[in-house]
Structure 1
């Protein structure tokens, strides 16, 4: 699910964009449950994007960016450590973990879930006010059912 050019984006099957969006929200909700500390999630909705190298009339991906704000700033690191431990127990394979190249050296975790045909990138933004986790969940490439049109949102 990550941008590994050698593997490409896996197929996620056939679905309408609305059904795929609902599935992505369930994936994000499951990740939220793994955080395990008190806090609040942003109320962002999933969106539709194109699959590279595929017909934009018949193929699409779903992306769902959202943020988690712990009640206590000290819980931010606890939340990230829990995700690092709990994601692999729940079908996710961590493919990258460590500081990013920004001046803040934010800790970033990237993981793929082959069963769910989804990937996630989580960035621990300790220096933000308020501190937060930024989560970007993205699906594999869906094909729209015959006779249907991709709903863009």
Structure 2
């Protein structure tokens, strides 16, 4: 198993770099060429969401991206450190949607809907210490040379 880790300041201009790195590592891992655009788009959505959560919650920690190559699959985890409190556990005056997600809820839900439409195997988790979007694609093993 090989893993590439990327951390970047929560600034929109770094999302493009994350997309390019993800596509390059996915290609090397054996993800089908026809799927690479979906990888780029999904990583862009996930990173843009993480940047937005960091900015709206005043989190200065970097956004984390882990690209993992297994024998038969390639996974990308985009992690943020924006806390999600329980709905009844919010600070006075804080806004939040269902499950403690920050507003604007519609924008957040739209990004997740786009990711779900691009990736068959996606898992979203969130809690007090932040959240992770894990996306997985099948790989085609490289042919063995004689």
Q: Larger relative contact order (C-alpha < 8 A, sep ≥ 6)? A: 1
More helix by share: 2
More strand by share: 1
After TM superposition, the score normalised by the length of structure 1 is 0.44
